[in-house]
Structure 1
């Protein structure tokens, strides 16, 4: 009995020490485990400085909704889960990449119900007035391409928003090469000093003359391909920063250069709008009227614009004046 008591008195402190040590190890392991579980969660978002202030956005957005600038998002390798179907009516170059994207309706009247159903983790909008409404659904970034001085800068900015800076840089490198290739394709085909006019024969009573426009092929023709505008197109539109102007039959001929890139669609009333002018145009006499499908040319994001420039260059090089 005495031996038992002595053994108990000797071993009890040892057992207590071991118990405390084991407990401490367990707590440390638990703390480390919690750290492992919570640290990645804390790193799943980041703060993005925007024109609407700081916005907390996903580190790697996976369900992106876009209400206008679709091509910029595609350029950095992200396919939106939802886009306005109305933009695709005149954005044919975008359609192949968006077959699995949900239709949010008309771009001027986005379906908020449909947007909620998509459970986006990031919304990209052009409209500052929609910011508060969209922010109730998911983190929202207002993105306005006009803030940037080049197409490459536009893509770089989108890469920053989506945390895809590497992809943006790679796309821009390829973009520059594609522009150079398109320009090279028409070098030697277009006579030196030849002038161009881009005109849209849709929608208006009279044809619209297009400048370095945010739509209808102006950027592709003048900014990317570097085509020389007709003199009055330069002075009255490009030099004035004017994107379009409506030209009546009386003055239309003054704006037409050696080549006319004419935006058309099925049923377009091309020269019938200009009964006393059309036949006298040098571009008509020399068969330099190149018809382009307006359904491909209304949008003007970098992703679309380079495809437009490549098609124009290809058509000019082949002398293909009519639509396919």
Structure 2
């Protein structure tokens, strides 16, 4: 019996020791799990607390463009603005590329020091520049839009705002997350418009104005209508009076036949080449048209009221380009 009693006591002691050991392991395991969970939480908190830039890059929002809803970065950092670099620069944003066309070159007036993207080549070439947002204008139809969208989230400007540089600027400012800067730029632009309109009205009054482009490729003159996206604002916003040939046009531009040149009896004529500069050797042949008897017979030519403008920004309807056109008009047409 004594031996049995000792055995039972020994077994009980062993069980007690095992229970204490198991309890200790359970306690340690719980503490380890709690500590691990704490580390994950701290790591997540540190990541979100110390990497706001990373979080911003990860955030997205849904906006509506011409073709529907599109998910874009809330804070885009690398923007490609095809044909809308002018607006990005006005918003103090440097795009990752600048559009380039072998026939037209680039918009030199923007003075951008970025790689060129050939719009006549493969859209996939944009992959090299790793944009996180692409903005395109009316030059992108659905097919091109879908191709751009394969490179990066793409926003296509709504068709109904493409005639209004203020609306384009405001829309792009919203898309890139800089609405306040957009309002600031628009306010300054509208102030400049109002000031220029008053000065031009005083200097020119109701005298008629026409804008023509010397087409270098075929030695013709293109008359720009009041709906032209490049120059229509000089009538609609600056209040200049379009020549009857201009005001009656339904198209953005029309080629003037040689017989129609004498009908362009506007008081003031603005002219710029389609390519290059006035001094470019390749433009000499086309410039002979401006030395013809028909051209020299026009009232504006006789009265020294033909203004030779620089084609780069006169062939753009964007807000920076328009501001530069205003400077030209004030310089050429006011005392």
Q: Deviations over 1:270-290 (max 9, x none)?
A: 573674423332212211111
Determine the C-alpha separation between the residues in 1 that align with 2:242 and 2:57: 54
Match of 1:227 in 2: 240
Structure 1, unpaired ranges of 5+: 1-8, 319-324
Match of 2:214 in 1: 201
Match of 1:180 in 2: 194
Determine the C-alpha separation between the residues in 2 that align with 1:41 and 1:248: 57
Whether 2:128 is the aligned partner of 1:117: answer yes
Determine the C-alpha separation between the residues in 1 that align with 2:146 and 2:301: 52
Compare relative contact order (CA 8 Å, sep 6+) and give the higher one, 1 or 2: 1
Cα offset, 1:308, TM superposition:
1.4
- RMSD of the alignment, in Å? 3.4
Whether 2:186 is the aligned partner of 1:166: answer no
TM-score scaled by length of structure 2: 0.77
Whether 2:92 is the aligned partner of 1:77: answer yes
Note if contact 2:86-2:318 (Cα within 8 Å) is conserved in structure 1: yes
Moved more, 163-172 or 142-151: 142-151
Determine the C-alpha separation between the residues in 1 that align with 2:189 and 2:105: 25
Alignment equivalent of 2:289, drawn from 268, 272, 284: 272
Give the 3 Å change call, closer, same or farther, for CA 310–278 of structure 1 in structure 2: same
Match of 1:4 in 2: none
Determine the C-alpha separation between the residues in 1 that align with 2:66 and 2:307: 41
Q: Deviations over 1:217-275 (max 9, x none)?
A: 523532342211112221x21xx3x2111112222222331111121333264573674
Determine the C-alpha separation between the residues in 1 that align with 2:77 and 2:293: 56
Match of 1:89 in 2: 105
Alignment equivalent of 1:102, drawn from 115, 120, 126: 115
Q: Deviations over 1:178-201 (max 9, x none)?
A: 2123224434322x2211111112
SS of the residue 1:201 aligns to:
strand
Moved more, 56-65 or 25-34: 25-34
Determine the C-alpha separation between the residues in 2 that align with 1:130 and 1:38: 37
Greater Rg by CA? 2
Match of 1:30 in 2: 40
Question: How many pairs are equivalent?
Answer: 304
Note if contact 2:209-2:269 (Cα within 8 Å) is conserved in structure 1: yes
Determine the C-alpha separation between the residues in 1 that align with 2:166 and 2:313: 21
Write out aligned runs for 1:245-256 (5 A). 245-256=254-265
Alignment equivalent of 1:58, drawn from 60, 66, 73: 73
TM-score scaled by length of structure 1: 0.79
Moved more, 264-273 or 159-168: 264-273
Alignment equivalent of 1:294, drawn from 311, 314, 325: 311
Determine the C-alpha separation between the residues in 2 that align with 1:72 and 1:214: 19
Match of 1:258 in 2: 267
Determine the C-alpha separation between the residues in 2 that align with 1:212 and 1:303: 20
Structure 2, unpaired ranges of 5+: 1-18, 50-54
Note if contact 2:210-2:223 (Cα within 8 Å) is conserved in structure 1: yes
Q: Deviations over 1:43-79 (max 9, x none)?
A: 6222222233332211211111232222122222221
